[in-house]
Amino acid sequence: MTKQTYILAFLIFILSTGGFTAMPLFPLLTDVHNISLTQASGITATYILMQKVTPIVLGPIGDYFGYKRMSVSGEWIRGIGFIGVGCVSNYYLLLLFALLAGLGGGFASPSLQSLIMKSSTYNARAKVSSLRATATSAGLLLGPIIAGIVIWTGNFQFIFVFAGSLYLVGAFLLIVFVTSTERDFPKKKMSIQSILEALRNKGYIKLIILMLMFYILVAQLFVTLPEYAKQFTEHIQALFLINGTTGLLLQYPVGVLISKYNKSKVFMFFGITSIFLSFVTLALWNNFLMLFVAVFLFTVGEILILPIVETSIANFSDRSRNMGLYFGMSNLSDGIGRPFGSLLGGWLVFNLHFTTVWVVFSGLTFLMLLFYILFFRRFL
């Protein structure tokens, strides 16, 4: 990996810290402004929706105007958005600045992914992806700690200004330390043909379907598992601590293993199987210890699957050289999968016994495994 790879990973850590510092505080806007919980939820939903949906359109722009330019522009917009959330009190202005913060994420995310993937060689892509995920996990751990300190002091609004400032600092560091991997204005113009080419890529479309199922399952870490944990403890944050710490410690070593042995098919199989075993564990044993075992197994599955997925997206894009387009369109699986998974998990918990819920998700994971073996495996 190159020096630029490590610089980008450090910048992703800074940006991730900013995002995960602010995210837990959106619902607490009701405590400092004259708005309802429904309105606060609307602000949160606007931010998430803009961040997850807009990359489908904004990702391809990075292919033609430069990944660095799009990343810098996105972080500036996101920084201004978060600072605005921390400085205004009117509901519609809060909504506007949350929209800007999410839009900035839509600008930056696919281009940052493309930048870091293009910063190293083809064979090192799994390691690069794991390094990026490790940097994100570090921000996921540090962000809520900072947010917790701020919640304790009671100065909620300051954290949005702090998070926005981190994004502005990140944008400045991108300008100074990161070298663009593409020419500023490629000759090729944007066209519908590029999108159609991606849609005709059978392996890529099957990967999106596979990841749609994956993100439906990932949503359960934030919906059904915390609800299930309430019968054992009030400290449900322990689940996220296990998930974040395991990812931080194991993600990069796993990426090194995937690159070294070049057995993506085997690692993907074991990743999906690990998630399957996590739900089977919950279905068979109803106790606190096995809950932690299940979360660990789920996290192991995540860290095996994600670097292979990002490497596959980058590889699928090589022929067209439209990496931003491919990363942007792949956000569909996350943008649809997580909300649908959250709704599905909530409905199942409300209507069924937990054991039945885990059986349902075990079945869904088994379907994902079958889909991988029958339809996607040959594309790796």
Q: For the chain, what are the domain ranges?
A: 1-190, 196-380
pLDDT for res 187: 44
Q: What is the pLDDT of residues 64-93, one digit of tens each?
A: 788 888 899 999 999 999 999 988 888 899
DSSP secondary structure letter of residue 319 = T
Q: Which of 33-42, 45-54, 56-65 has the lowest mean pLDDT?
A: 33-42
Whether 333 has a pLDDT exceeding 50, the answer reads yes
SS3 label, residue 220: helix
CATH T-level topology, domain 1-190: Growth Hormone; Chain: A; (1.20.1250)
Is the Cα torsion angle 118, 121, 126, 132 positive or negative in sign? negative
**What is each CA distance from 373 to 55, 91, 220, 369, 370, in whole angstroms?**
29, 49, 24, 6, 5
pTM: 0.80
In this chain, the answer to whether the domains covering 1-190 and 196-380 adopt an identical fold is yes
Q: Is a pLDDT exceeding 50 seen at residue 184?
A: no
The pLDDT, as a whole number, for residue 75 is 92
13 with 135: CB under 8 angstroms? yes
- Mean pLDDT of all residues in the chain? 83
Asked if pLDDT for residue 369 goes beyond 60, the answer is: yes
In angstroms, the CA 237 to CA 344 distance is 22
CA distance 301 to 297: 6
What whole-number distance in Å separates Cα of residue 37 and Cα of residue 162?
A: 23
Architecture of the CATH domain 196-380: Up-down Bundle (1.20)
Torsion angle, CA of 184/194/335/37, rounded to 10 degrees? 60
